A and B are shown apart, each in its own frame.
Chain A
Amino acid sequence: MSSSYERIFNLPLGPQHPALKEPVLLDLKVEGEHVVDVALDVSYNHRGMEKAAEYRTYVQDLYLIERICGICNIAHTLSFCQCVEGLHGKEIPERAKYLRVIAEELERIQSHLLWLGVAAHEIGFDTFFMYIWLDREISLDLMEEFAGNRITTSYNAIGGVKRDMTPEVANKMKKGMDKLEERVKFYKKVVLSERTVMKRTMGIGILRRDAAIQLNAVGPTLRASGVDMDARADDPYAAHSLVPFKVVTNEGCDAFSRIIVRLDETLESINMIRYCIEKLPSGPLLQRLPRRVPAGDFLTRVEAPRGELVHFLRADGSDKPYRYKVKTPTFSNLAPLREMLRSKGKYVVNVADVPVILASIDPCFSCTSRTEVVKS
């Protein structure tokens, strides 16, 4: 493979690197400017969550599981609560289901806007990054009014939700959604017409449709390869069977189409929130459930902003979980990531493209490597 002039040069991207928001080691094997292979090491954010969950009661675990990831915290607490409620076998009140959907979609908007700013920063377009994050403040302020905090909201509780939506908050939310929709449409126009953005993201990080299915890609990474798989549609939970929405896909298979998919998903989320506010039924917020959870296994799937999030709970009848397992979307996206980073034939990956490709799967390595034992 290598003649005397070609040599494979080891370029470690990480674990500390300005391109990365979280520590991960991408050990790139580079030939000139082309990446030929990569070895991933995702163990740096390993914190012992799964083991720690076994030593705490369910109520304490709610707060522990929430801290697996700051920006997908509602998705994590939602699936945790659904696991516990599923084992109890009880349905939560209708109003709580709709409120959960509103919280989840608001989180999705906020997460996608964060991601878009980060992606713009990765291609060197700092002006775009600053503009987007300023508009993201609208969604964070709404989150604070609605759920109590900007990030790590602790909004979901076992049996329902904790805070109600007053008419004032509903009004503010509607105004905020209008403003956000206008801004997101503007950003979509910018992305579709700005040539430097298109040059840096089109044709980058290609994941063919069959490779995406075979390697179990999830979330917008999968949907940008033309596969319409979305846990809200395939396995409906909360009020998703009652709230109409469109599963957004794109046939592009590259980083550019992932940008478009996430922007369209943001617009869909805005519509879903509006629908939920309109159709919000009255009723109680919380159904009190006993502390001890009946024995059994339960698995829930939630569409986190990054993809399909799976929580599995085995309860043994006490007030502590026997085993709690979390499979995060970024974990599923690791195999496709490795595939996207390999240059093959006519598809070449430059070193300059690596941060863009990594950013396009929207990695959250705090979610991925949450298990390492914490010394007391």
Chain B
Amino acid sequence: MDSSVDSIVMEMKGIKGVIDAKVICERRAQITVSAEVYHSVVETFQKKGFAHIAAMTCIDSGENLELLLQIGRRAIVTVKVILPAQTPSIDSVSDILPPASFHEREIHDLFGVEFRNCPDSSRLMLPEDWPKGVFPLRKSFQPETPAPLRRP
């Protein structure tokens, strides 16, 4: 079900849109892709048997938002996409991996990444009266000066 990480990395290197593919250590690999082929790459992995989402992380690295989808059961493959911080928008993978909708909702709440075709974009982690457009986990948000919360 899980092929070894080395063979996967070799395979991925040849595909168009894949920027980088490397083995990090035993049972860990990282594939960096562009936003357009993200959906199809994830679909390829899902067909190979990597259907278990270990985590979906988003990192605010200055001008970019890095989206990492970590999937796999024995070996974990990280599919990394770099999105512009101003208008982060990417296809949702919840049609191939249904539980991704929960992870994507959390990232949408906390970082503001827009997932196209996501079945449910309601708030997951933040309360209903949290102001729109304020994304707590971005580096620009400093807890010492919180946005004013309106009392209902």
Co-assembled chains A and B = yes
Binding site for B on A (CB under 8 A): 42-43, 46, 48, 50-52, 55, 86, 213-216, 229, 234-235, 297, 299, 301, 308, 310, 312, 314, 322-323, 325, 327, 331-332, 334-335, 369, 371-376
Return chain A residues, CB-CB under 8 Å to B125.
Answer: 42-43, 46, 369, 371-372
A27 vs B30: C-alpha distance in the bound complex, in angstroms? 39
Partner pick for A299 among B52, B60, B70, B137, CB 8 A cutoff:
B70
Do B136 and A310 touch (CB < 8 A)?
A: no
Interchain CB contact under 8 A, B52 and A216: yes
**Are B55 and A327 in contact, CB atoms less than 8 angstroms apart?**
yes
With a cutoff of 8 Å between Cβ atoms, the chain A residues found around residue B99 in the complex are: 215-216, 332, 335
Q: Contact between A310 and B55 (Cβ–Cβ < 8 Å)?
A: yes
B48 close to chain A: CB less than 8 A: no
Contacting pair A325 B55 (CB below 8 A): yes
Give the docked Cα–Cα distance between A206 and B129 (Å): 36
A24 CB to nearest B CB, Å: 12
**Bound CA span A215–B30, Å:** 23
Q: Does B57 contact A (CB under 8 A)?
A: yes
Cross-chain contact A299 with B54 (CB below 8 angstroms)? yes
**A-B contacts besides A51-B141, A312-B57, A375-B146, 14 pairs, CB < 8 Å:** A43-B123, A43-B124, A46-B126, A213-B52, A214-B98, A215-B99, A216-B99, A234-B73, A299-B28, A299-B54, A323-B57, A334-B102, A372-B136, A373-B146
Identify which of B57, B76, B78, B146 gathers the most chain A CB atoms within 10 Å of its CB: B57
Query: Of A213, A214, A299, A314, which one neighbours B55 at CB under 8 angstroms?
Result: A299
How would you classify the secondary structure of chain A's contact residues: helix, strand, loop or mixed? Answer: mixed
Cross-interface CB contact of B60 among A43, A323, A334, cutoff 8 Å: A323
Per-position binary interface string of chain B over residues 31-59, scored 1 when its CB falls under 8 Å from any chain A CB and 0 otherwise: 00000000000000000000111111101
Verify if B110 is at the interface (C-beta below 8 Å from A): yes
The CA of A216 and the CA of B103, in the complex, are separated in Å by: 12
**Smallest Cβ-Cβ distance to A374: which chain B residue:** B143
A317 to chain B, nearest CB (A): 14
Complex: A216 Cα to B56 Cα, angstroms: 13
Q: CB-CB < 8 A to A331: which residues of B?
A: 102
Decide if B74 touches A234 in the complex (CB within 8 Å).
yes
Q: Choose one: B52, B53, B74, B126; the contact of A372 (CB below 8 Å).
A: B126
Q: Which of B102-129 contact A (CB under 8 A)?
A: 102-103, 110, 123-127
- Whole-angstrom CA separation of A308 from B70 in the bound complex: 13
Interchain CA distance A106-B25 in the complex, whole Å: 30
Candidates B30, B54, B101, B110; contact of A327 at CB < 8 Å: B54
Contact partner of A314 (CB less than 8 A), chosen from B59, B123, B146, is: B59
CB distance from A98 to the nearest CB of B (A): 21
Query: B70 near A312 (CB under 8 angstroms)?
Result: yes
A-contacting residues, B62-88, CB 8 Å: 68, 70, 73-74, 76, 78
| Distance to closest chain A CB from B110 (angstroms) | 6
A229 near B143 with CB under 8 A, answer no
Of all chain B residues, the one with the shortest Cβ separation from A369 is B125
| Bound Cα distance from A46 to B24, whole angstroms | 32
List of 3 A-B pairs having minimum Cβ-Cβ separation, nearest first: A327-B55, A216-B99, A335-B99
Q: Which residues of B contact A374 (CB under 8 A)?
A: 143
Residue from A42, A229, A325, A373 whose CB has the most chain B CB atoms within 10 Å: A373
Across the interface, name the chain B residue whose C-beta is closest to A368. Answer: B125
